[in-house]
């Protein structure tokens, strides 16, 4: 594919309330770190869209494999990051947006940028649905991630978790909680507004570019930034992004600790800059996670104490009632996934152990946050 025409055209001033703010041009940006095995499938999923992007840009950064060559052979426009990229994924996306700005700026209100992970494939109607949703005042439209098939029990438990998470947006009126990095279509004008507000350092924490390169969870932080700037964020039904799961406890722990610690640091960073309704939504989630950790700890302490002092647990039938209700809910919420999911949910214990593992990881992240640890980013 030939390179875009990078001409410097001054953007016309256009009202944000334009009657037809749906994008007419879509540019896909795919940051990639050692994804030679997956990048061709990612690019093909973009070509197979009912509304394909007008340009597919792959940004290999810090790669030691053939990601760039494979992407170029698949027809993508390859922008190699010069030298070593200290800012990882966020730095790669910022680099691409800066290089493409003259191309994008021609019609800022009718241009959209799709950002997706290089190990992800999108459902065929992903972009078409997102374009229809990206109306005036909407800053980003994110997809719902689903798990790639896994042969491990740990991987399948994540698939159940992802499926249930997909139902959260529906209960929230299809408002996105986080614009996931697996696939989100952004308004180009909204991204420019975020960059401008970062540089001013009043409405948003001080920064220099579109994505915050200091955040452990750059997608979560950008979701907060867009909403703080007054944009809506959407997660409509039917936008599926298939992504990898963590098949070992070590990888899962590394991924989730980064997610949990990053989210806590983002909220602390924004503080009172965040509108009241956002503080209620996001801190309520953290309160729920913290409460679940406390309940789990109290339960385990009580169980150990009961076994140590009384030599067992005095069972009463009515104790089982909440468990039965929870069991019904677990099975019902994954029913559409098929018989394997129903069996896992009905077995009950595997999911409870998985929840306990996540609670333990969150507890570690919470104490790391209290201690002021910055945390680290690792490829997962």
CB under 8 Å, gap of 24 or more: what pairs does 79-84 form?
none
3-state DSSP call for residue 247?
coil
DSSP class of residue 81 equals P
pLDDT of the residue at 286: 85
Burial 234-252 (b: 16+ CB within 10 A, else e): bbbeebbbbbbbbeeeebb
Domain with 215, as residue range(s), is 25-274
Residue 7 pLDDT greater than 70, yes or no = no
Instruction: Give Dmax over CA atoms of the chain in angstroms.
Output: 79
Q: Report pTM.
A: 0.87
Together in a domain, 132 and 217? yes
For residues 214 and 287, membership in a common domain is answered with no
262 and 173 within one domain: yes
Q: How many Cβ atoms are within 10 Å of 180's Cβ, its own excluded?
A: 23
pLDDT tens by residue, 16-60: 444 456 788 999 999 999 999 999 999 999 999 999 999 999 999
Final residue before a domain boundary, out of 252, 274, 296: 274
DSSP-assigned letters across all residues of 120-175: -EE-TTHHHHHHHH--TTEEEEE-EEEEPP-SSHHHHHHHHHHHHHHHHHHHTTSB
Kindly give, in sequence order, each residue whose CB lies less than 8 Å from that of residue 123, ignoring residues fewer than 6 positions away. Answer: 143, 238, 239, 240, 241, 242
Shared domain for 346 and 238, answered yes or no, is no
Is 2 inside a domain boundary? no
> Do 61 and 179 lie in a common domain?
yes
Q: Which residues pair with 41 in a beta bridge?
A: none
Judge whether 10 lies within some domain.
no
pLDDT value for 358:
94
In this model, does residue 224 exceed pLDDT 70? yes
Residue 380 has pLDDT above 90, yes or no: no
Q: Tell me whether residue 13 is in a domain.
A: no
How many domains does the chain divide into? 2
Contact criterion met (CB below 8 Å) for 90 and 115: no
Of the three residues 274, 305, 340, the one that is the final residue of a domain is 274
Q: pLDDT confidence of 285, banded at 50, 70, 90? A: confident
Instruction: For 126-139, write each residue's pLDDT tens digit.
Output: 999 999 999 878 99
Domain C-terminal end among 233, 257, 274: 274
Dump pLDDT digits (tens) for 171-212: 888 889 999 999 999 999 999 999 999 999 999 999 999 999
| Beta-strand relationship, 144-147 and 240-243 | parallel
> In this structure, are 183 and 290 located in the same domain?
no
């Amino acid at each position: 594919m030939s390179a875009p025409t990078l001409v410097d055209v001054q953007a016309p001033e256009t009202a944000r309330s334009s009657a037809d703010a749906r994008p007419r041009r879509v540019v896909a940006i795919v940051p990639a770190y050692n994804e030679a095995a997956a990048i061709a499938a990612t690019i093909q999923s973009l070509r197979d869209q009912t509304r394909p992007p007008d340009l597919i840009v792959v940004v290999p950064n810090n790669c030691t494999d053939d990601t760039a060559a494979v992407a170029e052979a698949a027809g993508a426009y390859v922008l190699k990051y010069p030298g070593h990229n200290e800012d990882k994924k966020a730095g790669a996306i910022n680099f691409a947006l800066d290089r493409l700005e003259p191309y994008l700026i021609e019609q800022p209100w009718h241009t959209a940028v799709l950002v997706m992970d290089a190990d992800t494939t999108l459902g065929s109607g992903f972009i078409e649905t997102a374009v229809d949703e990206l109306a005036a005042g909407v800053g980003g439209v994110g997809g719902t991630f689903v798990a790639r098939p896994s042969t491990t029990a740990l991987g399948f438990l994540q698939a159940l978790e992802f499926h249930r998470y997909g139902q959260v947006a529906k209960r929230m009126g299809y408002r996105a909680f986080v614009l996931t990095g697996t696939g989100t279509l952004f308004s180009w004008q909204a991204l420019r507004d975020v960059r401008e507000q970062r540089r001013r350092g009043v409405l948003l924490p001080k920064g220099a570019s579109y994505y915050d390169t200091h955040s452990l969870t750059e997608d979560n932080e950008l979701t907060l930034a867009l909403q703080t700037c007054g944009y809506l964020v959407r997660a409509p039904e039917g936008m599926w992004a298939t992504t990898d799961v963590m098949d070992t406890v070590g990888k899962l722990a590394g991924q989730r600790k980064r997610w949990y610690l990053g989210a806590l640091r983002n909220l602390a960073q924004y503080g009172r800059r965040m509108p009241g309704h956002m503080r209620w939504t996001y801190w309520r989630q953290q309160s729920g996670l913290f409460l679940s950790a406390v309940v789990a700890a109290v339960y385990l302490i009580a169980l150990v104490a009961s076994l140590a002092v009384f030599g067992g647990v005095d069972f009463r039938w009515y104790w089982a009632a909440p468990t039965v209700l929870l069991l019904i809910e677990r099975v019902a919420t994954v029913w559409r996934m098929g018989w394997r999911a129903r069996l896992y949910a009905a077995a009950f214990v595997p999911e409870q152990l998985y929840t306990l593992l996540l609670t333990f990881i969150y507890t570690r992240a919470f104490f790391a946050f209290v201690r002021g640890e910055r945390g680290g980013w690792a490829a997962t």
